[in-house]
Amino acid sequence: MNASTKAYEELLIRLKNTALLASCSAVLEWDEQTYLPPEGAEHRANQLALLAGMVHEQATNPEIGNLLLELESNSSSIDDVFEQANIREARHEYDRATKLPRRLVEELSRVATLSHHAWVQARKNNRFKDFLPWLEQMIDLKREQASATGYQGKNAYDALLDEYEPGATSEMIEQAFIPLRNELVSLVSAIKNSGVTPDTSILTRKYPVEKQREFSVSAAEAIGFRFDAGRLDIAAHPFCSGIGPGDCRLTTRYDEHHFPGAFFGTLHEAGHGIYEQGLCKEHFGTPLGSSTSLGIHESQSRMWENLVGRSHAFWDYFYRPAQKLFPEALGNVDQGAFYRAINDVRPSFIRVEADEVTYNLHIMLRFELEKALISGDLKPADLEAAWNEIFFEYFGITPDTSANGCLQDVHWSAGLIGYFPTYALGNMYAAQFFIAAEKELGDLSQLIARGEFVPLKEWLNQNIHQRGKLFRANRLVEVVAGESLSHEPLIAQLQNKYSELYNL
Amino acid sequence: MNASTKAYEELLIRLKNTALLASCSAVLEWDEQTYLPPEGAEHRANQLALLAGMVHEQATNPEIGNLLLELESNSSSIDDVFEQANIREARHEYDRATKLPRRLVEELSRVATLSHHAWVQARKNNRFKDFLPWLEQMIDLKREQASATGYQGKNAYDALLDEYEPGATSEMIEQAFIPLRNELVSLVSAIKNSGVTPDTSILTRKYPVEKQREFSVSAAEAIGFRFDAGRLDIAAHPFCSGIGPGDCRLTTRYDEHHFPGAFFGTLHEAGHGIYEQGLCKEHFGTPLGSSTSLGIHESQSRMWENLVGRSHAFWDYFYRPAQKLFPEALGNVDQGAFYRAINDVRPSFIRVEADEVTYNLHIMLRFELEKALISGDLKPADLEAAWNEIFFEYFGITPDTSANGCLQDVHWSAGLIGYFPTYALGNMYAAQFFIAAEKELGDLSQLIARGEFVPLKEWLNQNIHQRGKLFRANRLVEVVAGESLSHEPLIAQLQNKYSELYNL
């Protein structure tokens, strides 16, 4: 074994051990959201803080830096593209972790906790100004974080974006967002003026929770989520946690009088879960065994939720079982009416309740604002006015309250700045991947209508999941879809689908 | 702050941090038994091995040894009995942890895993000889363990016992077990010859699982288990896990056609849980915030399960609710018949299904045999013959199969030798504590019959739980009950109860 091989193996052992320890935290975090008794919250916080400290210590161990230097100095002798990718991304993660001074990490964590509490109260009381001092502190800290980690080009925002979408830049995102926005604003306006208004009241009839669970599980299983290597539980805020090989957990929440919430929520989380379950077990804990980026992750959840789950073909297969399980709610409803109801498009205030078309506008609004906050072009004190102004421009309505406006999301209070765009990137990537899959597999709607989900799932496994971080997201989409990030497939898909639905 | 105070505080910080890390393992172990998807088992084993190694490293850090030496050399200046107890028990745990060579720890763990698998197969196939080679290895390793940790007196077995019941010796246990055994054998024989045979078929009627859960939860809550700081879930092997302050979890299993299993199982685990919930939060992670011993722990579970739960008074309060919840099974059964059925006594092969009277004989049999295995007086090859011989002597019947005989329990395969006697110690301690409680609180059956469980629970909190490891078990019973370990209260209680039930 030569020195490089030895250094590479030592590096992998360190990365895998750190990931193994971090995966213990993941179990405790899942448990915190699902089964933790209320009185156990304080002890759980102590446990998680201890593990976080230990993980950080391992991830920033100078020995990793030494191993990376050794490998980089011999990089000409490493001709394996997989090894190259592991080294490249290990360096990226090590630099991110070590460049932040400990004081800043602790300050960010402390302010995030306090700021989150302040946000909860401010939203409850509908008072933006109660949250403002915390937002100001948080923006200052995030700007400091951006300087510490550094960035190419002129946008400090890119340094934050990089945490969630490695290698992405605001310029690249803007190139897709600007035309996407123009097209979406026209489409929303055309839909609004179409005079067609689906009857959505059928979705708020009585759907017994136990039956909702049964139906959600059967659909998640059908599209390929493995319940022998995963679970579905209840949590207030739905999420997917890929704990480790063979253990991926979804959560959802049920409302007896709202069918889409739990059902499409479960499909969405199952999409994330299929990605996690599709990662290479033998690479667990290394970049090659980890998901590419949040944007790519979101492309998987959105594809199963929207491109598959809200398609006409999907309900060709699933509508009969749905009627059988919910005879009271759907017995006298024909499939067409149901299909129109689950694809109702209308401007609304709340992002997480938005339809497939307007959703992306909610994201672009946030992207514009957080970029301006980080560059300094927008003062936190002016955020609410700016929010309402752009909201009117995009949607033609103005939020009636702060809670329905700029106070609605948890992200900024928790320091998650640069996270929002990954949701819309996911929608664009999903449409690009879907076309690429059809090129190979033929008309997917025919397969979907027969309940044949395996070909698409396996295509995603091979082309996306099993590659881990071999490529960055922007390169992955080129390799898989033969083109770089583009808004066109998404717009084409939406125009096509909604022209038919709204007689445009 | 003088040097001793500083050293004491440093010691506490180290103990608490180690306990905090160990409590992360406890969450993962609970999850393994309740919600882990089957495919996640291998990753979970890796997680637990990692944490176990880190906990062991922290618990054996030489700095703890240095701090203890410093504190012990100044012990004359420490006049606080609580500090003295923490130092005494920290020394005891540190010595146990450091005296075992790492090789032996790893070998014990490796053989336990393999031996457990061999035991599962051997029990399934009813073949003691398939398990024998593993038992031989395990006994050798446990003898080696006993030499490594050392023991006073002549019995190597005491070194193993000490792990579960610190300070106890086989001599002390024998002094109680020998007379207890004689009395029990007579009592069992008298019951057998009484001609009274309760109708136990009423307990195997249909008891819907959801109702069983509801009833078990309401009883556990009534006796004082706090569900805002705990849970009740399903597991194949029922247990109680005190994860940390505010978080204690019980498990049980339901059989629609066997009422006592889940109900008395839940009361039993709730008894353990009330102990865990009664420990002092501020002492978490130190001996003063930990339970005294397994024997004392078992005294709490047995007291609530048997002395309270199987008493006539308990059903004066709970029988009406039971009839209401299970009208099909109990509608036409009077309380007396139900009371007799749940207190049916008869010799049987399986320990975990044994009644309150014969249970202790099952324990004594195991105690005799494991002592002889460790001393070398009994060869593992002769275990089955010896088991069957003593079994006939105690019960008047001979096991029909190995699975119903010496292969029935998991303990020996897992290396848990010296553990069994704590079950019978628990029964004796429970009877002693119960009498002591009655001296202060008056006739407990009157309180129980009115559903007033708080006085007994709070008495246990104050006299036992909140003391942690301030006293060793043998001293605690002297302080609380005014006498050392004795079989007499238990025998008196059983004779009294069963003379009435069986017209003796």
Query: pLDDT tens for residues B293-323?
Result: 999 999 999 999 999 999 999 999 999 999 9
- What is d(CA A144, CA A142) in angstroms, rounded to the nearest whole number? 5
CB-CB neighbors (< 8 A) of A41 in chain B: 246
Reported as a pLDDT band with limits 50, 70 and 90, residue A109 is confident
Query: Using DSSP, how many helices (H) and how many strands (E) does chain B show?
Result: 21, 3
**Nearest Cα residue in chain B from A23:** B47
pLDDT score of A2: 76
Longest dimension (CA), chain B: 72
- What is d(CA B38, CA A225) in angstroms, rounded to the nearest whole number? 14
pLDDT score of A75: 78
CB-CB neighbors (< 8 A) of A31 in chain B: 27, 31
CB-CB neighbors (< 8 A) of A226 in chain B: 39
pLDDT score of A153: 87
| Sign (positive or negative) of CA dihedral A181, A185, A186, A187 | positive
**What ipTM does the predicted assembly reach?**
0.94
* Axis crossing angle, helix A259-278 with helix A209-223, rounded to the nearest 10: 30
Paired residues of B437 in beta bridges:
none
Q: Length of chain B, please?
A: 504
Chain A residues with CB under 8 Å of a chain B CB are: 17, 20-21, 23-24, 27-28, 31, 35-44, 46-47, 50-51, 54, 226-231, 233, 243-248, 284
Question: Is residue B356 annotated as a catalytic residue, yes or no?
Answer: no
Task: Tell which of A24, A33, A50 to mutate to test the B interface (max B CBs under 10 Å).
Answer: A24
CB-CB neighbors (< 8 A) of A20 in chain B: 46-47, 50
The three-state secondary structure class of B377 is coil
Q: Which residues contact B305 (CB under 8 A, 6 or more apart)?
A: B264, B267, B268, B271
- φ, ψ dihedrals at B248, nearest 5°: -130, 130
Q: Length of chain A, please?
A: 504
Question: DSSP code of B306?
Answer: I
Verify whether the Cβ–Cβ distance A28 to B23 is below 8 Å: no
* Axis crossing angle, helix B209-223 with helix B312-325, rounded to the nearest 10: 140
Which amino acid is residue A78, in one-letter code?
Answer: I
Residue with tokens 């998991």: B410
How far out from the chain centre does Cα B271 lie?
10
CB nearest to B42's CB, from A43, A243, A246? A246
Verify whether the Cβ–Cβ distance B247 to A39 is below 8 Å: yes
- What is d(CA B362, CA B360) in angstroms, rounded to the nearest whole number? 5
Residues A152-180 have pLDDT tens digits of: 889 999 999 999 999 999 999 999 999 99
- What is d(CA A251, CA A247) in angstroms, rounded to the nearest whole number? 13
Residues A4-62 have pLDDT tens digits of: 899 999 999 999 999 999 999 999 999 999 999 999 999 999 999 999 999 999 999 99
Residue with tokens 């685990």: B269
Measure in Å the smallest separation between the Cα of A33 and chain B Cα atoms.
14
A285 and A278 Cβ atoms separated by less than 8 Å: no
**Selection from A64, A52, A463 nearest residue A275 by Cα:** A463
pLDDT > 70? residue B471? yes
CB nearest to B50's CB, from A21, A40, A229? A21
CB nearest to A228's CB, from B37, B51, B284? B37
CB-CB neighbors (< 8 A) of A233 in chain B: 35
* B220-242: average pLDDT: 96
Rg (alpha carbons) of chain A, rounded to whole number: 23
Verify whether the Cβ–Cβ distance B23 to A40 is below 8 Å: no
The three-state secondary structure class of B112 is helix
Task: Tell which of A25, A32, A43 to mutate to test the B interface (max B CBs under 10 Å).
Answer: A43
Verify whether the Cβ–Cβ distance B42 to A247 is below 8 Å: no
pLDDT > 80? residue B56? yes
Reported as a pLDDT band with limits 50, 70 and 90, residue A355 is very high
* A199-211: average pLDDT: 97
A429 and A295 Cβ atoms separated by less than 8 Å: yes
Reported as a pLDDT band with limits 50, 70 and 90, residue A271 is very high
Reported as a pLDDT band with limits 50, 70 and 90, residue B1 is low
Residue among B269, B298, B356, B384 flagged as catalytic: B269
pLDDT > 90? residue A275? yes
Verify whether the Cβ–Cβ distance A40 to B244 is below 8 Å: yes
B106 and B53 Cβ atoms separated by less than 8 Å: no
B41 and A246 Cβ atoms separated by less than 8 Å: yes
Verify whether the Cβ–Cβ distance A39 to B246 is below 8 Å: yes
- What is d(CA B37, CA B67) in angstroms, rounded to the nearest whole number? 43
Verify whether the Cβ–Cβ distance A31 to B31 is below 8 Å: yes
How far out from the chain centre does Cα A473 lie?
14
Q: Which residues contact B365 (CB under 8 A, 6 or more apart)?
A: B387, B390, B391, B394
**Selection from B385, B379, B317, B394 nearest residue B348 by Cα:** B394
Residues B5-37 have pLDDT tens digits of: 999 999 999 999 999 999 999 999 999 999 999
Question: Does an H or E element contain A242, and which?
Answer: strand A240-244
Paired residues of B240 in beta bridges:
B250
Measure in Å the smallest separation between the Cα of B209 and chain A Cα atoms.
16
B215 and B321 Cβ atoms separated by less than 8 Å: yes
Verify whether the Cβ–Cβ distance B230 to A43 is below 8 Å: no
CB-CB neighbors (< 8 A) of B28 in chain A: 24, 27
| Sign (positive or negative) of CA dihedral B472, B474, B476, B478 | negative
Reported as a pLDDT band with limits 50, 70 and 90, residue B106 is confident
Residue among A83, A165, A183, A269 flagged as catalytic: A269
CB-CB neighbors (< 8 A) of B50 in chain A: 17, 20-21, 24
Helix residue ranges, H only, B245-358: 259-278, 294-302, 312-325, 327-330, 335-342
- Around A89, how many Cα atoms within 13 Å sit in the side-chain half-sphere? 26
- What is d(CA B368, CA B365) in angstroms, rounded to the nearest whole number? 5
Verify whether the Cβ–Cβ distance B47 to A31 is below 8 Å: no
Reported as a pLDDT band with limits 50, 70 and 90, residue B79 is confident
pLDDT > 70? residue A395? yes
Which amino acid is residue A206, in one-letter code?
Answer: K
* A186-213: average pLDDT: 96
